[in-house]
């Protein structure tokens, strides 16, 4: 029986990557850390290769795997760094939802939902950070203060929202309702 490697069927991501300056710093630090451990991984692989027959050498295979994985991570981060678009709060238009905007939505039942729209690398819905590529993120991008829209929840319930605050700018309608 002849074994062949499976083809990589993943679609390469080639679009822009939206990050805050903190997100960029974290990515650069991760790259520096990976580059710093690379020489020790190379040395470990060379030592394991010196043990003899590589076909039955588990230490060599593991060392080679760790080296390839780290090199792949470095290449991935370097590629991502080339495509980064920094989210700059001072360059956004007032009253329009954009990547980086902090948004407050008023639901049709009177409850409120607060979140910030970031690139997918920095999202954490539990902490209120959603992706610009998420269903809700896509819908609110480009909307203005006071706009109403309908959103279909994952359980197919339709919810109506109104944008009542964008980056600290509040809707007059919300202020007068208090």
pLDDT over 50 (residue 176): no
pLDDT digits (tens, 9 = 90+) for 22-53: 999 999 999 999 999 999 999 999 988 887 77
4 three-class SS: coil
Same domain, 93 and 71: no
Residue 11 lies in a domain: no
HEC string for 70-82: HHHHHHHHHHHHH
pLDDT over 80 (residue 13): no
Q: Which among 63, 86, 109 is the end of a domain?
A: 86
Q: Residue 27: what pLDDT?
A: 95
In this structure, the strands spanning 148-152 and 84-86 are: unpaired
Q: Which among 31, 66, 86 is the end of a domain?
A: 86
169 three-class SS: strand
The average pLDDT across 133-159 equals 91
Residue 119 lies in a domain: yes
- Domains in the chain, number: 2
Same domain, 54 and 129: no
Question: Which CATH number goes with the domain that contains 135?
Answer: 3.10.50.30
Same domain, 78 and 128: no
Closest CA to 160 of 103, 93, 113: 113
Q: Residue 4: what pLDDT?
A: 66
pLDDT over 70 (residue 57): yes
Same domain, 108 and 65: no
Same domain, 122 and 134: yes
Under the banding of pLDDT at 50, 70 and 90, the label for residue 103 is: very high
Same domain, 113 and 79: no
Residues 145 and 155 sit within 8 Å (Cβ to Cβ): no
Same domain, 123 and 158: yes
57 three-class SS: coil
Question: Which CATH number goes with the domain that contains 51?
Answer: 1.10.287.180
149 three-class SS: strand
Residues 42 and 60 sit within 8 Å (Cβ to Cβ): no
Structural domain span for residue 25: 17-86
């Amino acid at each position: 029986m002849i074994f062949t490697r499976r083809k990589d069927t993943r679609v390469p991501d080639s679009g822009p990557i939206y990050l805050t300056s903190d997100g960029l710093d974290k990515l650069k630090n991760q790259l520096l850390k990976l580059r710093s451990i690379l020489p020790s991984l190379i040395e470990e692989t060379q030592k394991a290769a010196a043990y003899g027959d590589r076909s039955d050498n588990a230490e060599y295979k593991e060392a080679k795997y760790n080296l390839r994985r780290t090199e792949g991570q470095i290449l991935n981060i370097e590629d991502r760094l080339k495509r980064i678009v920094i989210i700059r709060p001072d360059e956004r238009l007032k009253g329009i939802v954009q990547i980086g905007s902090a948004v407050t939505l008023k639901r049709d039942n009177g409850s409120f939902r607060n979140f910030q729209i970031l690139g997918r690398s920095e999202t954490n819905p539990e902490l209120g950070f959603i992706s610009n590529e998420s269903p809700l993120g896509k819908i609110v991008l480009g909307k203005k203060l006071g706009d109403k829209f309908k959103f279909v929840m994952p359980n197919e319930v339709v919810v109506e929202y109104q944008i009542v605050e964008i980056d600290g700018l509040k809707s007059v309608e919300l202020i007068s309702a208090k």
